[in-house]
Amino acid sequence: MAKKQVDLLQGTLDLLVLKSLALGPLHGLGVSNRIAQITKGTFKVKPGSLFPALHRMEEAGWLQSSWGESENNRRAKYYRLTAAGRRQFDAETQDWQRISLAITTALKAT
């Protein structure tokens, strides 16, 4: 919790959401917890950013949602990746790796 929070870059939120859903279906709170967990608390996504992102990606056909039961028998809306979402995830992952490699190399250059 003491870690400094970093503002999300435009586009990275999508990648993080796709990544967390690639491991299995989650509801909204689950997605934000999963992101906090896999980034070791660096990113904490607020509902005001999370829900617009989820709905936008759903309208784009990358995600599908359905109502289900939560771990404590509560009704919750679950999101899962579609085939298109998986392709999008792969494409964005590759893009990201290329960019981060380029930036890292650039920063190392003397």
Partner 1 sequence: MALISRLTSLWRNLFHKDRVDQEFSEEIQSYLDLLTEAKLRQGLSPREARRNALLELGGVEQVEERVREIRMGRFIETVWRDVRTGVRALVHSPVFTVVTVLSLALGIGANTAIFSVVNGLLLRPLPYPESEQIVDVWHTPPQQSFPGLDKFSVSPANYLDWKAQSTSFEQTAVYTDTAFSLSTSGDPLPLIGGVVSSDFFSVLRSNAIQGRTFTPDEEQPGHDQVVVIGHRLWQRAFGANPNIIGQTLTLNSRSFTVVGIMPAGFEFPREAELWVPLAWDDNDRKTRSIHDYLVIARLKQNVSLQQAKAEMSTISSRLEQQYPEENSGWGAVVIPLREDLVGDMRLALLVLFSAVGFVLLIACANVANLMLARGANRQREIAVRIALGAGRARLVRQLLTESVLLAVIGGLLGLLLAVWGSKLLVQLGSLPNSGDIGIDTWALGFTLLVSFGAGIIIGIVPALQFTRTSISETLKQGSGRTGGTPIKQHTRKVLVISEVALSLVLLIGAGLMIRSFWKLQNVNPGFDTSNALTMSIVLNWSRYSEPHQRLAFADRAIEQIRAVPGVVSVGTTTKIPLAGGGSTQPFSVEGRPAGAIAEQPMAQTRYISPDYFRAIGISLRQGRFFSEQDRDNSVPVVIISEAMARRFWPGENPIGKRLTPSFHSEQGAREIVGVVGDVKTSGLDVDASAMMYLPFKQAPLPFMSFVVRTSSNPESLIQPVSRAIYSIDKEQALTNVQTMEQVLTKSLSDRRFNMTLLLTFAGVALMLAAVGVYGVMNYTVTLRTRELGIRMALGAKKMDVLRLVVGQGLTLTLIGVGAGLISAYALTRLMASLLYGVTATDYLTFGSVSAVLIAVGLAASYVPARRATKVNPTIALRAE
Rank residues 7 and 59 by Cβ distance to partner 1 and give the closer one: 59
CA angle 28, 31, 32 (to 5 degrees): 90
Q: Give the number of other CB atoms < 10 A from CB of residue 92.
A: 16
Mark 16-36 as b/e (b = at least 16 C-beta within 10 Å): bbbbbbeeebbbbebbbebbb
Candidates 6-14, 16-24, 34-42, 73-81; binding stretch for partner 1 (CB under 8 A): 73-81
* Distance between CA atoms of residues 47 and 56, nearest Å: 14
How many residues sit in the footprint of partner 1 (CB under 8 A)?
Answer: 21
**Least CB distance from residue 100 to partner 1, whole Å?**
26
Contact set for partner 1, span 26-45 (CB under 8 A): 27-29
The site for partner 1 (CB under 8 A) is made up of 27-29, 46-48, 51-52, 55-56, 58-61, 70, 72, 74-77, 84
